[in-house]
Amino acid sequence: MSVTVAERERAHVQTHSPHGAAEPSYAQRLRNNRLGLWLFVFSELFLFGGLLMSRFYLWRDPATDDIIRPELDQLLGLFSTTILLLSSVSMALAEAAASRGDRKILNAGLLITAILGIVFLGIVVGLEWQGEVSPGDGAFGAVFFGMTGLHAIHVLSGVILLLIILYNSLRGKFTTERHWGVEATAIYWHFVDVAWVFFYPALYLIGRAVHLG
């Protein structure tokens, strides 16, 4: 009596799984997790993309239809952008360290990324939000606080994720082969950086500066 491959696999699954259902391997779960996270990132693109479009639609001179912007401190924008890009570099180094099993650089990278994220939040909330534009400044206020506010919420949630991952790393939860938590946090953090890569020129550089008040 011959046994087919499918029957052998079914028998193997029933032997190794308490409910008779196939347990996906770590590699399979990793692929599913990646796909799920990238679909989430894709959905976020619409949110940030919509805000970016609203900036170019609403910040226009009604008389000439020129693209305009409020007169913001461009050097402050450059500084906050540099901080966020540096945080992406430290996050990438941390993820690379996780792949190599270099726990010292992993922990240092995660800590530095979290600190740079907090510094970025401090610049946005403490300096940029206290600048020339206020929430009551019509389209300027609505778009500026909408874009920077939504982005800041994402940075804040990223910092919380980083601290959770750092805590887990300090407890030795990640190995060279298994560190999906680090990879997922890195993808999320870099996405927040990508969003700012477009927000920075849109808010600070593009268009004719208009003095408010």
Residues forming contacts to another protein in the complex (CB under 8 A) are 27, 30-31, 34-35, 38, 56, 67, 74, 78, 81-82, 85-86, 88-89, 91-93, 95-96, 98-100, 176-180, 183, 186-187, 190-191, 193-194, 197-198, 200-201, 204-208
Phi, psi of 135 (to 5 degrees): -60, -20
Is the Cβ of residue 35 or residue 47 nearer to another protein in the bound state?
A: 35
Is the Cβ of residue 134 or residue 183 nearer to another protein in the bound state?
A: 183
Least distance from another protein to the Cβ atom of residue 194, Å: 5
Helices marked H in the chain: 5-16, 26-58, 74-100, 103-122, 138-170, 180-200
Overall residue count recorded for the chain in this entry: 213
Is the Cβ of residue 38 or residue 167 nearer to another protein in the bound state?
A: 38
Alpha-carbon span 132 to 130, nearest angstrom: 7
Least distance from another protein to the Cβ atom of residue 169, Å: 14
Is the Cβ of residue 49 or residue 135 nearer to another protein in the bound state?
A: 49
Q: Yes or no: say if 189 and 155 are a contact pair by the CB < 8 Å rule.
A: no
Decide: helix, strand or coil at residue 52: helix
Q: Yes or no: say if 111 and 205 are a contact pair by the CB < 8 Å rule.
A: no
Least distance from another protein to the Cβ atom of residue 42, Å: 11
Is the Cβ of residue 38 or residue 57 nearer to another protein in the bound state?
A: 38
Is the Cβ of residue 80 or residue 140 nearer to another protein in the bound state?
A: 80
Closest CA to 190 of 25, 38, 13, 73: 38
| 207 torsion bin: left (phi>0), alpha (psi -120 to 50), beta (else) | left
Least distance from another protein to the Cβ atom of residue 98, Å: 7
Least distance from another protein to the Cβ atom of residue 117, Å: 15
Least distance from another protein to the Cβ atom of residue 176, Å: 7
Q: Yes or no: say if 181 and 79 are a contact pair by the CB < 8 Å rule.
A: no
Amino acid (1-letter code) at residue 188: Y
